[in-house]
Structure 1
Amino acid sequence: MDGKNDEYSLQKPAKRRQRKIKVIVKGKFDQYDADLADLSYFSKKNKGYKYLLIVIDVFSRFLWVEPLKTKRGVGMVKSLKHIFEKGRPPQKIRTDSGSEFTNKEVSQLFKSLNIYHHIARNDAKANYAERVILTIKQRLWRYFIKNRTHRYIDVIQAVVNGYNATPHRSLKNIAPKDVNQSNEPDIWAALYLKPTKETSVIKIDKKQIRLNKKKFEYKIGDMVRVSYKKLPFSRGYNQNWSSEIFKIKDRFLMQAVPMYKLVDFHVDAIKGNFHQFELARVQKSEQALWFIEKKLRKRRRNGQTEWLVKFDGWPAKYNQWITEDSIKDRPSS
């Protein structure tokens, strides 16, 4: 296959709604999800505060929010410490791979408190935090409309307190602030144990075994693109898949969901696990045409002109010297 195959494989629609791994935690303070809500548009009306640090207990759904003026490490550490003092440091914390959570200062804080930092690198990211950001923004928007203002800094903690006092259906109609040791077992059962009928019978037959064997769409060694982290409302004509191509190194089932591990063309492992719907098979050989983004440098070697080139959409580590006569004009559309 040549470069023409890229036109479809980069643009084809990415599947959005698929079964994902369910996060199961032991109880309160086991795992927090964290993210930043960007409210920089309203910073002038809010004493220069641009962001809200959102931290939510995955089990109790209890929420903490700290306003921030910058994403820098020192400010992040101060706000995280304040949250941990009000609640308690978790066993684990899950965030995206943004520098606000992976910088030296924050990493040292997590290490000093013996907190395992899980960096979500796929489309799901810190989904409890992302979900509650939408809820808090909706409540702020209603406040803005009712009071004809965009100033939230004086009321944000009241909004958070209101959220924590609101009963959650998933918590058996208990509010996050009311989750405690005495009701934890019942809530855990409601969250993670599916009710079963005494008369139900689990049947495992040859047909079901055959179906299970068909769970994996991709084989080890297949070349794939990875879905871009996009919002559900991203437009279909934007590029949906990575220009860089990866290879499947391993595959396994997690909670009966097919998962994959990838390596790049240098056989360096890609961090994280990938769902099936986050991958798209590519029918392209390493000897095919690869589009050049930029010619970086020119030299003469062994009587031939060579160019150091950067390939379109690929990291700089793949920059390569190639002979001038191997460079072809991009086909006209």
Structure 2
Amino acid sequence: MSNGGIFRYGMPNGRSFGCSSDRSFDRNVDRCSDRSSDYPSGRNSVRSSALVVLLTISSVIAGYTAPVRAESPDSAPAEVLATIDRLETAANDRDLTNLIDLYASNFEHDDGFNRRDLRSAIVEFWDRYETLNYDVELLDWEATETGYITETEITVTGRTTGDRPYQLASAMRSRQTFVNDRLIRQTTLEEASTLSAGQAPPTVRIQLPDGVAPGDRFEFDAIVLEPLGDNFLLGGVLEESVDLAIDRDPAFIELQPLNAGGLFKIGTAPAESRDLWISGAIVRKDGITIVTQRLPVSSAATR
């Protein structure tokens, strides 16, 4: 991808964000007309790395054997609530020792990473953000013979370091398995993140399916809610596999002028079952907004 572009914007991870003469996205069209063709995929993007850390921080409570039934969070036992409180406190205090101590040495995430991977990602993430606030909510829990299975939702807000700070807002819902006072497994159910910068970054609403079957085509819309007026918009989309290995190489989302008030694209899911991160960026003269959402690709999805 060419480094020579008509527009460049520094990213919180030190990357550039540009519109290059080598445009790999097809034209953007009105949602009422024919949609643009498939957008490209790439290993790295401008998505918020908070998604990676949400994979780690939202892991807390659970069990190993088959659960009895889901229970209301109001009926959760004291040890479950104490673990939630310990998690939230350690994250907000940036207490890496107490946070990692919640994970078993054989911890596995469905996305393919382990306890050591998580530790490295947390350290890198905390170094990048000047302020962070974590809120952990227990949605339901199930007792098992050896522990608990829980479903939690965590929200993270923060501000990056540097001369051009970004505001972060992220949310994740996940299911955890906890045995012998240690987390051994986690599955991410939903996640989304927004990075914004500037005096008045655009407010963007995402429209993306909850899941798709392998090989299916799907629509991705990132709609600017404010009236377009005289504003000139640039935008771009990127698809990538969910991967803890972020920020290894410089990368671009290529931007193109938008003829409508947002991004309206069609993508094609991979042939095999795996989750994707779909990112969209909208830029105007007074700000930039980058939205990212997880898209599960599974044969269980309704066609």
- Please tell me the TM-score bracket, short chain as reference: under 0.3
TM-score, structure 1 as length reference: 0.23
Of structures 1 and 2, the one with the larger relative CO (CA 8 A, separation 6+) is 2
- Structure whose CA Rg is larger: 1
The structure with the greater share of residues assigned to strand is 2
